[in-house]
């Protein structure tokens, strides 16, 4: 049984350019499907089995006497089959090719029926909650706090079994607000028609820019104070008796009504992004306070790792709750609906009884690299292209050998916060790189392209180290 669930999405994304045979790898072995069809993006989720070789060390019976000629250890190559979850997004412009490809590969499989619903239905809200539970439990450092002026902008949260209750604000074309109380208890407690579609639609009217990514790029270059009316524009400074600083926005687009000038599209895009993000942040904190919740997670393809959006939402929540509510963002924010739909359609396979680990070779990171920007900087409008997760052999539990896990403080080092330690380890990795490349080539002396592949790896690895040195996550 495959399940197709629609959910409002809004971003026009140009990041998926891979051919179908590469995007939908392992599709022939797919067991379950789910599709989340939004306004401009379609997210596909499917389960497959993957065959690969694993090197295993032979077990020895140390009770018996070993002959002097016996090897200390033996390694054998064995075939294993692993379950894998795939989550991919692509523009709706490719929807016919995608559907044709799925149809061709569904022949002679157990998938016989695909259920579909329209976009934006309330039924999607429990699915987003279910998907959020899944990523928070299974993907380390999935959630993070954004602090623009800190030494490290991103402060990632470790996985914790005690995640309930929390508020999920899913920002698609509109906004849905879901209270998540347990693994299977979800309640849509509110929403708004002012969301990503509003930013995209008004942005297109104001700037004549039709692509969501381009709007975000414009906003990153704009100065909203040229368009917005601030408190100091009205009072000449701060308004202390009400606790309002002079730089606080008093009226979004307030200057455009009286100023006899043409505003640049960068400034208008920045003002619009502030207006929408502030509105969503205030709405989220009001619902959080009303229901006594201290954690708010933001999902949907609206935020997409964009610093202005994350900073504005964070500032709004901190301002209205005086720091009592925490804004948390997700690395794979846009896949919550697809993951939830897949889990709902695959209940008979009991996917929740396993632990899953992210396959980093097939997954995107926090942001994609944009060739139009400085190669040492991460794309501010980067997107999450793919997510793959492999089923682990056994279910993981939180610190099983500790008498009291809740009071345990691990002796760990956060390289995003400790600059000297980060530089030391990056230096060690860089110094060891040439030796690793030589050993890699020596391990495959027969293939003629071994040296070429090793050189490509060396360049990419060195570039990654330089990126982390200038902008650690």
By the 8 A CB rule, do 8 and 119 touch? Answer: yes
Token duo for residue 449:
């392209």
- Give residue 239's pLDDT: 87
What is the spatial distance between Cα 53 and Cα 123, in angstroms, rounded to a whole number?
41
Distance (Å, whole) CA 240 – CA 366: 39
What's the rounded Cα separation, in Å, for the pair 252 and 228? Answer: 5
SS3 (DSSP) at 253: coil
User: Going edge to edge, which strands form the sheet with 326-330?
Assistant: 154-156, 143-146, 326-330, 295-299, 166-171, 175-180, 186-192
Coil, helix or strand for 469?
A: helix
44 φ, ψ (degrees, to nearest 5): -110, 135
pLDDT at 382: 33
Q: What is the pLDDT of residues 321-343, one digit of tens each?
A: 999 999 999 988 888 988 888 88
pLDDT at 15 over 80: no
Banded model confidence at residue 205, pLDDT cuts 50, 70, 90: very high
Residue 381's pLDDT band, with cuts at 50, 70 and 90, is very low
Dihedral angle computed from the Cα positions of residues 447, 448, 449 and 455, in that order, rounded to the nearest 10 degrees: 110
Is pLDDT above 80 for 398?
no
- Whether 122 and 170 have beta carbons less than 8 Å apart is answered as no
3-state SS, residue 291: coil
Q: Which of 95-104, 267-276, 450-459 has the lowest mean pLDDT?
A: 95-104
3-state secondary structure of 254: helix
Token look-up 């692993």 returns 82
Going by C-alpha positions, the residue among 370, 390, 371, 389 that lies closest to residue 380 is: 370
- Give 444-472 as a DSSP string: --S-TTHHHHHHHHHHHHHHHHHHHHHS-
pLDDT at 122 > cutoff 60: no
The two three-digit tokens of residue 405, written as one number: 């896990």
Distance CA 160, CA 341 (A): 23
pLDDT band at 181 (very low <50, low <70, confident <90, very high): very high
Which residue, among 111, 176, 99, has the nearest Cα to 340 in the 3D structure? 176
What digits encode the pLDDT tens for the residues 399-413?
A: 788 888 778 887 777
Select the more confidently predicted residue: 158 or 84. Answer: 84
Among 10-14, 193-197, 264-268, which stretch is predicted with the lowest mean pLDDT? 10-14
Quickly state the pLDDT bin for 186 (edges 50, 70, 90): very high
What does the pLDDT read at residue 194?
95
Confidence of residue 117 (pLDDT cuts 50, 70, 90): very low
- Per-residue model confidence (pLDDT) at position 78: 80
Percent helix, strand and coil across the chain, each to the nearest 5: 40, 20, 40
Mean of the per-residue pLDDT values of the chain: 80
Q: What's the pTM?
A: 0.78
pLDDT confidence of residue 383: 40
At 277-300, the pLDDT tens digits run 999 999 999 999 999 999 999 998
C-alpha angle with apex 9: 148 to 311, nearest 5 degrees? 10
Q: What is the pLDDT of residue 351?
A: 75
């Amino acid at each position: 049984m495959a399940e197709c669930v629609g959910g409002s999405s809004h971003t026009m994304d140009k990041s998926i350019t891979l051919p179908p045979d590469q995007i939908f790898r392992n599709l022939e072995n797919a067991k379950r499907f789910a599709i989340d069809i939004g306004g401009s993006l379609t997210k596909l989720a499917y389960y497959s089995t993957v065959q690969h070789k694993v090197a295993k060390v032979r077990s020895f019976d140390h009770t018996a006497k070993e002959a002097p000629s016996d090897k200390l250890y033996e390694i054998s190559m064995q075939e294993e089959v692993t379950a894998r979850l795939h989550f991919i997004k692509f523009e709706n412009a490719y929807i016919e090719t995608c559907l044709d490809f799925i149809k061709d590969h569904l022949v002679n499989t157990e998938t016989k029926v695909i259920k579909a619903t329209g976009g934006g239905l309330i039924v999607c809200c429990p699915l987003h909650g279910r998907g959020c539970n899944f990523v928070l439990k299974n993907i380390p450092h999935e959630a993070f706090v954004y602090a623009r002026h800190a030494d490290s902008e991103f402060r990632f949260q470790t996985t914790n079994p005690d995640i309930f209750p929390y508020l999920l604000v899913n920002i698609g074309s509109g906004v849905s607000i879901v209270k998540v109380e347990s693994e299977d208890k979800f309640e849509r407690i509110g929403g708004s028609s002012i969301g990503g579609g509003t930013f995209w639609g008004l942005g297109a009217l104001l700037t004549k820019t039709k692509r969501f990514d381009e709007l975000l790029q414009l906003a990153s270059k704009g100065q909203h104070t040229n368009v917005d009316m601030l408190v100091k524009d009205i009072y000449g400074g701060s308004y202390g008796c009400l606790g309002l600083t002079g730089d606080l926005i008093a009226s979004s687009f307030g200057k455009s009504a009286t100023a006899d000038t043409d505003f640049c599209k960068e400034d208008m895009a920045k003002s619009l992004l502030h207006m929408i993000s502030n509105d969503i942040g205030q709405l989220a904190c009001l619902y959080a306070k009303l229901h006594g919740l201290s954690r708010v997670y933001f999902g949907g393809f609206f935020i997409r790792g964009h610093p202005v959006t994350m900073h504005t939402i964070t500032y709004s929540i901190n301002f209205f709750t005086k720091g009592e509510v925490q804004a948390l963002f997700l690395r794979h924010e846009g896949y919550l609906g697809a993951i939830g739909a897949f889990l709902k359609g695959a209940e008979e396979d009991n996917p929740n009884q396993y632990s899953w680990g992210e396959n980093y070779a097939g997954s995107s990171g926090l942001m994609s690299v944009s060739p139009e920007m400085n190669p040492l900087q991460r794309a501010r409008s980067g997107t999450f292209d793919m997510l793959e997760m492999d089923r682990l052999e056994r279910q993981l539990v939180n610190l099983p050998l500790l008498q009291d896990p809740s009071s345990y403080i691990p002796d760990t080092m956060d390289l995003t916060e400790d600059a000297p330690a980060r530089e030391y380890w990056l230096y060690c990795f860089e110094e060891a790189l040439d030796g690793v490349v030589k050993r890699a080539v020596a391990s495959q002396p027969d293939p003629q392209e071994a040296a070429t592949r090793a050189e490509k790896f060396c360049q990419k690895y060195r570039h990654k180290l330089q990126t982390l040195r200038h902008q650690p996550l």
